[in-house]
């Protein structure tokens, strides 16, 4: 059942819509290279679309009703948005859920040191990365430094054209014979992913003069001390903007498209839908790449608490009502799949792989090694979705992630399924997944946004 290439179906009007959407998507990527930045940007977009902070509604003692739009944020890293529908909320919600964290390098709490007249920042990688992909390339530093007086300083170094960038050094081929004989996983050890940040000594400083100069520069620009690294969250990411790729400009190359391509299309679908019968919801969460743990991951009670507060403002809060709302909801777990790469065809089962340009990807199950750790969607739910997508003429495909004994992965789907709701994984096919620069098809971005919007309107 080979699916057609979506590009062949577009007229000039659809091509214009596609380019407009993808231009906005590239801006979203450039503004959001960390989970904090993504949530901040998402709030700005939501406010422009008429959404209000649920905290303000609660503080004012206001009530909510059909047509109202609100959002709830936790720790600046996770957000849930609600567009209240006409039907009783006890009938359930239509939920889109994506994650806004991506693989990266995190700067440690005691990071700055000097060696051989070079200053370095020590890092700890976050999520599934191939260490060797992060060396010898321009990198940027994004994040926050929280000071003891309560001030939180935003940090972005390496994105403006006038900014310096940082990097990780690699061994030259002339001296690399032993290195090249190692397994790929050991070519660059995790403890060697240290960021080179300077080499100029501070005048009249006798010990660690290069380190002293870096601290002086940080003091001048951000008014922070070395001790402030203890309460900092600084992330090292590829420097540079999202770009069209391919001579035909049919694709986008950028950092963090897993899973911000699904976060953007989910958010955009919710903000663009004008009226909904059932309450529509979009969740953008943190920590998926390390198991959805912690206060801002999907395993936390943040979402459940937000729904409880929403019900309270609607005058409908009861524990049983909360349970019914969650159990009766339906969800698309908006996460990416691995696009078939003909250069590495041996790891894919071609009949059940996702292809770039053939539309949004549904994955009945994820997990690995016999579907371990998987959410496995019900056939009846998939049939409902097929009916909607076919009616709306959305290009879509169903796929697994790699061969049975090779592939697999995890998403937030199983966590929401614990409430008893129908959940299926659904998103965009990605090349170079988890690499510093990932590639997606503009056609898939366009079709996925259309599919998400159709789900919110019609499920």
SS (H, E, C) the chain: CCCCCHHHHCCHHHHHHHHHHHHHHHHHHHHCCCHHHHHHHHHHHHHHCCCEEHHHHHHCCCCCCCCCEEEEEECCCEEEEEECCCCCHHHCEEEEEEECCCCEEEEEEEEEEEECCEEEEEEEEECCCCHHHHCCCCEEEEEEEECCCCCEEEEEECCCCCCCCEECCCCCHHHCHHHHCCCHHHHCCHHHCCEEEECCCCCCCCCCHHHHHHHHHHHHHHCCCHHHHHHEEEEEEECCCCEEECCCCCEEEECCHHHHHHHHHHHHHHHHCCCCCCEEEEEEECCHHHCCCCCCCCCCCHHHHHHHHHHHHCCCCCHHHHHHHHHCCEEEEECCEEECCHHHHHHCCHHHCECCCCCEEEECECEECCCECCCECCHHHHHHHHHHHHHCCCCEEECCCCCCCCCCECCCHHHHHCCCCEEEEEECEEECCCCCCEEEEHHHHHHHHHHHHHHHHHC
d(Cα 36, Cα 153) in Å, to the nearest integer?
A: 13
d(Cα 435, Cα 427) in Å, to the nearest integer?
A: 18
Where does a domain end: 189, 211, 238? 238
What pLDDT shows up at residue 371?
A: 80
The C-alpha angle with vertex 11 and arms to 10 and 17, in degrees rounded to 5, equals 80
Q: pLDDT tens across 281-298, in order?
A: 999 999 999 999 999 999
| Residues 449 and 419 placed together within one structural domain of the fold | yes
| Residues 270 and 309 placed together within one structural domain of the fold | yes
Residue 245 counted as domain residue: no
With bands split at pLDDT 50, 70 and 90, how would you rate the model's confidence at 310? very high
The residues facing 426 across adjacent strands are: 334, 362
Residue 248 counted as domain residue: no
- Do the beta carbons of residue 103 and residue 127 sit within 8 Å? yes
What pLDDT shows up at residue 342?
A: 96
Q: Span 209-232, mean pLDDT?
A: 96
| Residues 88 and 109 placed together within one structural domain of the fold | no
| Residues 436 and 295 placed together within one structural domain of the fold | yes
- For 223-237, 245-259, 359-373, which range has the lowest pLDDT when averaged over its residues? 359-373
Residue given tokens 């008429």 in the structure block: 50
Task: Quote the percentage of the chain above a pLDDT of 90.
Answer: 92
d(Cα 49, Cα 345) in Å, to the nearest integer?
A: 43
| Residues 230 and 263 placed together within one structural domain of the fold | no
| Residues 233 and 292 placed together within one structural domain of the fold | no
4: CB partners within 8 A, 6+ apart? 358, 395
Residue 391, classified by CB atoms within 10 Å of its CB into exposed (0-12), middle (13-18) or buried (19+), is exposed
d(Cα 102, Cα 296) in Å, to the nearest integer?
A: 14
Q: Span 428-445, mean pLDDT?
A: 97
Residue 307 counted as domain residue: yes
Residue 360 counted as domain residue: yes
Residue 247 counted as domain residue: no
d(Cα 403, Cα 98) in Å, to the nearest integer?
A: 24
d(Cα 167, Cα 327) in Å, to the nearest integer?
A: 48
| Residues 15 and 144 placed together within one structural domain of the fold | no
d(Cα 347, Cα 354) in Å, to the nearest integer?
A: 13
Chain mean pLDDT for the chain? 95
What pLDDT shows up at residue 404?
A: 85
pLDDT at 50 exceeding the cut of 90: yes
What pLDDT shows up at residue 149?
A: 95
CATH number at residue 77: 3.40.630.10
Where does a domain end: 189, 209, 238? 238
What pLDDT shows up at residue 402?
A: 83
Compute the Cα dihedral for 35, 39, 44, 49 and give only its sign: positive
| Residues 160 and 297 placed together within one structural domain of the fold | no
Q: pLDDT tens across 110-160, in order?
A: 999 999 999 999 999 999 999 999 999 999 999 999 999 999 999 999 999
| Residues 63 and 132 placed together within one structural domain of the fold | no
Where does a domain end: 238, 271, 297? 238
| Residues 227 and 295 placed together within one structural domain of the fold | no
- Do the beta carbons of residue 132 and residue 180 sit within 8 Å? no
Question: Residue 218 sits in which domain range?
Answer: 104-238
What pLDDT shows up at residue 453?
A: 98
CATH number at residue 151: 2.30.250.10
Choose among 255, 436, 256, 427: nearest CA to 332: 427
266-290 burial: b if 16+ Cβ within 10 Å, else e: bbbbbbebeebebbbbbbbbbbbbe
What pLDDT shows up at residue 147?
A: 96
Residue 249 counted as domain residue: no
With bands split at pLDDT 50, 70 and 90, how would you rate the model's confidence at 40? very high
pLDDT at 39 exceeding the cut of 90: yes
What pLDDT shows up at residue 366?
A: 83
What pLDDT shows up at residue 304?
A: 97
Q: pLDDT tens across 378-410, in order?
A: 999 999 999 999 999 999 999 988 888 787 777
What pLDDT shows up at residue 408?
A: 75
pLDDT at 367 exceeding the cut of 80: no
* Cα separations in angstroms, 80 against 101, 229, 293, 321, 322: 15, 30, 17, 19, 16
| Residues 439 and 293 placed together within one structural domain of the fold | yes
| Residues 351 and 426 placed together within one structural domain of the fold | yes
Count the residues in the chain.
Answer: 459
What pLDDT shows up at residue 375?
A: 85
What pLDDT shows up at residue 372?
A: 78
- Residue 226 has which token pair? 């070395």
86: CB partners within 8 A, 6+ apart? 66, 275, 276, 277
How many domains is the chain built from? 2
Q: pLDDT tens across 87-104, in order?
A: 999 999 999 999 999 999
pTM for the model: 0.96
Residue 199 counted as domain residue: yes
pLDDT at 370 exceeding the cut of 80: no
Residue 76 counted as domain residue: yes
Instruction: Tally Cβ neighbours within 10 Å of residue 177.
Output: 9
What pLDDT shows up at residue 365?
A: 86
């Amino acid at each position: 059942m080979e699916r057609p290439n979506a590009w062949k179906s577009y007229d000039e009007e659809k091509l214009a819509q596609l380019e407009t959407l993808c231009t906005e998507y590239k801006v979203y990527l450039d503004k959001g290279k960390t989970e904090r930045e993504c949530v901040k940007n998402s709030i700005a977009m939501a406010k422009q679309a008429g959404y209000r902070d649920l905290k303000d509604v609660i503080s004012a003692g206001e009530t909510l009703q059909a047509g109202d739009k609100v959002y709830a944020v936790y720790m600046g890293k996770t957000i849930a948005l609600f567009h209240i529908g006409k039907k009783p909320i006890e009938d359930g919600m239509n939920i889109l859920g994506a994650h806004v964290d991506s693989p990266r390098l995190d700067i440690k709490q005691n990071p700055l040191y000097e060696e051989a007249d070079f200053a370095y920042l020590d890092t700890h990688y976050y999520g599934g990365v191939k260490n060797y992909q992060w060396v010898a390339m321009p990198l940027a530093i994004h994040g926050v430094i929280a000071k003891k007086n309560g001030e939180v300083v935003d940090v972005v170094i390496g994105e403006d054209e006038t900014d310096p960038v940082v990097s990780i050094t690699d061994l030259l081929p002339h001296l690399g014979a032993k290195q090249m004989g190692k397994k790929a996983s050991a070519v660059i050890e995790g403890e060697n992913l240290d960021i080179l940040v300077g080499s100029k000594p501070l005048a009249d400083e006798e010990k660690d003069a290069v380190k002293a100069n870096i601290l002086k520069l940080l003091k001048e620009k951000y008014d922070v001390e070395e001790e402030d690294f203890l309460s900092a969250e600084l992330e090292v990411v590829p420097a540079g903007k999202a770009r069209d790729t391919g001579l035909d400009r049919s694709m986008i190359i950028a950092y963090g498209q897993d899973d911000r391509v699904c976060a953007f299309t989910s958010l955009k679908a919710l903000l663009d839908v004008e009226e909904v019968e059932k309450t529509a919801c979009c969740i953008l969460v943190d920590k998926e790449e390390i198991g959805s743990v912690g206060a801002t991951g999907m395993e936390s009670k943040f979402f459940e608490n937000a729904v409880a507060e929403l019900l309270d403002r609607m005058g409908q809060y009861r524990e049983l009502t909360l349970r019914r709302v969650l159990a009766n909801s339906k969800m698309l777990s908006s996460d990416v799949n691995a696009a078939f790469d003909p250069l590495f065809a041996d790891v894919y089962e071609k009949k059940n792989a996702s292809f770039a340009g053939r539309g949004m990807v549904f994955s009945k199950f994820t997990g690995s090694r016999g579907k371990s750790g998987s959410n496995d969607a019900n056939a009846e739910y998939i049939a409902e979705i097929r009916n909607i997508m076919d009616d709306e003429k959305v290009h879509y495909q169903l796929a697994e992630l790699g061969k049975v004994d090779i592939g697999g992965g995890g998403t937030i789907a199983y966590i929401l399924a614990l409430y008893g709701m129908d959940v299926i994984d659904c998103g965009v096919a990605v090349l170079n997944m988890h690499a510093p620069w990932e590639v997606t098809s503009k056609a898939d971005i366009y079709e996925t946004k259309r599919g998400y919007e159709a789900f919110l309107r019609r499920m």
